[in-house]
């Protein structure tokens, strides 16, 4: 039964798939409702560029917009409550990307708390504190990029089992109610478009009687900064925290011939394996990282060993050679590592 402000519509169905998604989250900051304070949806509708912008949040969304607007000549200040950017991502990736973005002119304030947004004659001013010191950052626009909230309003009358406000599903995407499935952001976890698509496909196939499951151990994540960052599987820290004894291989793009010819030598490939050399995670920071991560996603999906990729012939000169070099490094036999 669907209820609107005007009428209640009764719909009959055999199977139901819930895909209500998520919306931009606005933090409880004084002045967050002022004109000129934007969400990640609003910012895409701007018809002109501001000279200065403050971005609240140094997660994926905040850094992607920071990278894009900085490249267009906008003076960007990113304010992050935590003491690092990209919480949840590999620490080496976050540390190196921070250095790169600072060199690109992006000002990033860490361990900083936004206290208020004020309207001024010139535009807006963001009041924030670092420790016991208070600062005022003038700007034309403010982008709130602190995450997204799940859209749970439309199914409040269904007795669905929720975990952390997300619909709990099994690996067939079925909820605790037989015949009701859920897919995408509303199921929580990584809020990624490609994961949502595969979850929706899996839910639809199971609803139609076609057995299907989602492999959530090999879900690639991509960050479209400049340079790009991409990851799949476990980070080194997550593996170690899980009690897994790991081997790590690393190779810098500055030693890769194709990266040198492209003039994009920033970043590296990092591969994580267990003691049997089975690849369990990987991270890439560099040009076309979002394209390269699929090779490592396939490796994790097939439970391949680092030996397989280190011995596989990669075309030369290509960026993908950095993957087999990183796998070679993990095995103690890198060829071109400096």
Query: Which residues are paired to 250 by β-bridges?
Result: 270
Domain covering 152-216: architecture: 3-Layer(bba) Sandwich (3.50)
pLDDT at 3: 56
Q: What is the CA radius of gyration of the chain?
A: 23
pLDDT band for position 2 (cuts 50, 70, 90): low
Mean of the per-residue pLDDT values of the chain: 95
The CATH superfamily label for domain 221-330 reads FAD/NAD-linked reductase, C-terminal dimerisation domain (3.30.390.30)
Considering only residues 204 and 337, tell me which one the structure prediction assigns the higher pLDDT.
204
- 172 near 206, Cβ under 8 Å? yes
pTM given for the model: 0.92
Catalytic residues: 316
For 24-148, CATH number out of 2.40.30.30, 3.40.30.10, 3.50.50.60, 3.30.1450.10 equals: 3.50.50.60
Cβ atoms of residues 281 and 233 within 8 Å = yes
Q: pLDDT band at 338, cuts 50/70/90?
A: confident
Give per-residue pLDDT as tens, 299-328.
999 999 999 999 999 999 999 999 999 999
Query: What are the two backbone dihedrals, phi and then psi, of residue 101, each rounded to the nearest 5 degrees?
Result: -65, -35
Tell me, what's the pLDDT at 1?
52
Same fold for the pair 24-148 and 152-216: yes
Phi, psi of 9 (to 5 degrees): -110, 125
Domain boundary assignment for the chain: 24-148, 152-216, 221-330
- pLDDT band at residue 88 using 50, 70 and 90 as cut-offs: confident
Say if residues 249 and 234 touch (Cβ distance below 8 Å): no
């Amino acid at each position: 039964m669907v209820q609107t402000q005007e009428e209640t519509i009764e719909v009959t169905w055999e199977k139901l798939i819930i895909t209500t998604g998520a919306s931009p989250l606005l933090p409880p900051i004084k002045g967050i409702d002022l004109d000129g304070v934007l969400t990640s949806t609003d910012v895409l509708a701007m018809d002109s560029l501001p000279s200065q912008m403050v971005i609240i949040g140094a997660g994926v969304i905040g850094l992607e917009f920071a990278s894009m607007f900085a490249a267009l000549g906008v003076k960007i200040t990113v304010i992050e409550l935590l003491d690092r950017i990209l919480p949840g991502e590999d620490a080496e990736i976050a540390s190196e990307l921070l250095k790169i973005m600072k060199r690109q002119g992006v000002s990033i304030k860490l361990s900083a708390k936004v206290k208020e947004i004020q309207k001024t004659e010139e535009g807006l001013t963001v009041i924030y504190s670092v420790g016991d010191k208070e600062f005022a950052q003038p700007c034309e626009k403010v982008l709130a990029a602190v995450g997204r909230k799940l859209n749970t309003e439309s199914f409040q009358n269904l007795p669905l089992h929720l975990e952390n406000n997300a619909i709990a599903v099994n690996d067939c995407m079925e909820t605790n109610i037989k015949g009701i499935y859920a897919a995408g952001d509303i199921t929580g976890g990584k809020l990624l478009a490609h994961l949502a698509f595969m979850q929706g496909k899996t839910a639809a196939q199971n609803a139609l009687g076609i057995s299907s499951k989602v492999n959530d151990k090999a879900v690639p994540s991509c960050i479209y900064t400049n340079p790009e960052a991409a990851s799949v599987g476990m980070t080194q820290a997550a593996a170690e925290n899980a009690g897994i004894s790991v081997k790590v291989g690393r190779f810098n793009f500055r030693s890769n011939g194709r990266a040198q010819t492209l003039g994009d030598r920033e970043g590296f490939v990092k591969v994580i394996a267990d003691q049997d050399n089975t690849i369990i995670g990987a991270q890439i920071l560099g040009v076309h990282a979002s394209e390269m991560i699929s090779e490592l996603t396939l490796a994790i999906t097939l439970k391949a060993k680092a030996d397989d990729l280190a011995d596989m012939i990669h075309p030369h000169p290509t960026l993908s050679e950095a993957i087999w070099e990183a796998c070679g490094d993990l095995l103690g036999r890198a060829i071109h590592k400096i």
